Amino acid sequence: MSTLSSRLSEAQALVSSRRKSPPRVGVVLGSGLGAFGDTLSHLTKIPYIDIPHMPRSAVVGHAGNLCLGEIDGVSVACLQGRVHAYEGHDADTVTFGVRLLARLGVGAVLLTNAAGGIDASFAAGELMLICDHLNLTGKNPLIGPNDDALGPRFPDMSTAYDPALRAAAHAAARRAGITLREGVYAGLMGPTYETPAEVRMLRTLGADAVGMSTVPEVIALRHLGVRAGAVSCITNLAAGISPAPLDHSEVEATAKRTRDAFVALLTGWIVETARALG
Ligand code: HPA
């Protein structure tokens, strides 16, 4: 069995053979945002299937391409679609994409996702900058022997969502005239949506939104010392808050409706992030 490090090296070699210049900022495009990858200038699009060991998602709305290009002169690498633990993947597989971004040399990764709103003041269609998370998946991608060459055994998580990147997101939102809320994201395993009792529990625990991704990716990035930032599209009010049953088509429809604002925010955030990286 090959090591994670050697699998990453093989994936990195393929990407580097298709595009020489290293990206500065990595982006993970969640539900409904995939098309952003196609808007990059000087685009090099690499299907995941061409990249050794790169997993592909079976979830509707998640294309499988690595998009390399530029946004306003900043070189970026976008994961157009991610895999989730609820699809049956282990934590190394779920985090392979962001670890590859780190290998390609990005200084920061900006993640996006869809989430259910728990904060009573949230409305569907709002954007929430994640300031911290609750890992309620029962898993951690760092379980197992630690590769000290990659990162420490016990990584610090006190500023998992980088303060400078958070400031950059707020600056980008202000500039674009977009309302950006901020809150704590609870990461659960899924694939069921929560019960109303679970949502009440999450609120008591201090969660403002709930979703099924992002947490393992941010943990893996912090381990590698790569700065992380994340924004949720509140695609629905969490179970029990809204009287309507939850449905993935509602999540997709809201993500689609919010896409223009999300893309405007992301574009500005990439530029501000490049500035913050110096
Ligand atoms: N719960 C969990 N994950 C989600 C939700 C939700 O309500 N909406 C979008 N992703």
How far, in Å, from the CA of 62 to the mean position of ligand 1?
Answer: 15
Catalytic annotation present for 114: yes
How far, in Å, from the CA of 175 to the mean position of ligand 1?
Answer: 28
Q: Which of 11, 77, 87, 172 is catalytic?
A: 87
- Residue range 220-247, pLDDT digits in tens: 999 999 999 999 999 999 999 988 888 8
Average pLDDT of the chain is: 94
- The pLDDT value recorded for residue 248 is 87
- The pLDDT value recorded for residue 52 is 96
Q: Does residue 20 register a pLDDT over 90?
A: no
Whether the link from the prior residue into 145 is cis, omega within 30° of 0, is no
Decide: 3 and 27 in contact? Cβ < 8 Å. Answer: no
- The pLDDT value recorded for residue 230 is 98
- Residue range 102-127, pLDDT digits in tens: 999 999 999 999 999 999 999 999 99
- The pLDDT value recorded for residue 168 is 98
Catalytic annotation present for 9: no
- The pLDDT value recorded for residue 60 is 64
Closest Cα to atom 9 of ligand 1: 115
- The pLDDT value recorded for residue 58 is 75
- Residue range 142-197, pLDDT digits in tens: 999 998 988 999 999 999 999 999 999 999 999 999 999 999 999 999 999 999 99
Q: Which tokens in the block code for residue 238?
A: 């969490």
Catalytic annotation present for 31: yes
In the block, tokens 């501000």 appear at 272
Tell me the residue type at 219. Answer: I
Q: Which tokens in the block code for residue 265?
A: 């925010």
In the block, tokens 């633990």 appear at 85
Q: What's the CATH architecture for 23-144+158-277? A: 3-Layer(aba) Sandwich (3.40)
Q: What is the DSSP string of 22-83?
A: PPSEEEEE-TT-GGGGGG-EEEEEEEGGGSTT-----STT---EEEEEEETTEEEEEEES--
Q: Which of 236, 261, 274, 276 is catalytic?
A: 236
Q: Which tokens in the block code for residue 73?
A: 């002169």
Ordered by start, the domain boundaries in the chain are: 23-144+158-277
Helix, coil or strand: residue 87: helix
- The pLDDT value recorded for residue 149 is 87
Q: Which atom of ligand 1 lies nearest, measured to the CA of 237?
A: 7
Q: Does residue 255 register a pLDDT over 90?
A: no
Catalytic annotation present for 170: no
- The pLDDT value recorded for residue 242 is 82
Check residues 253 and 216 and name the one with the higher pLDDT.
216
Please state the pTM of the whole predicted model.
0.96
Q: Identify the residues whose C-beta falls under 6 Å from ligand 1.
A: 114-116, 193-194, 210-212, 235-236, 238, 246, 251
Nearest in space to 113 (alpha carbons), one of 200, 260, 229, 203:
229
The band of 1, judged by pLDDT with boundaries at 50, 70 and 90, is: low
- Residue range 23-68, pLDDT digits in tens: 999 999 987 888 899 899 999 999 999 999 999 877 665 679 999 9
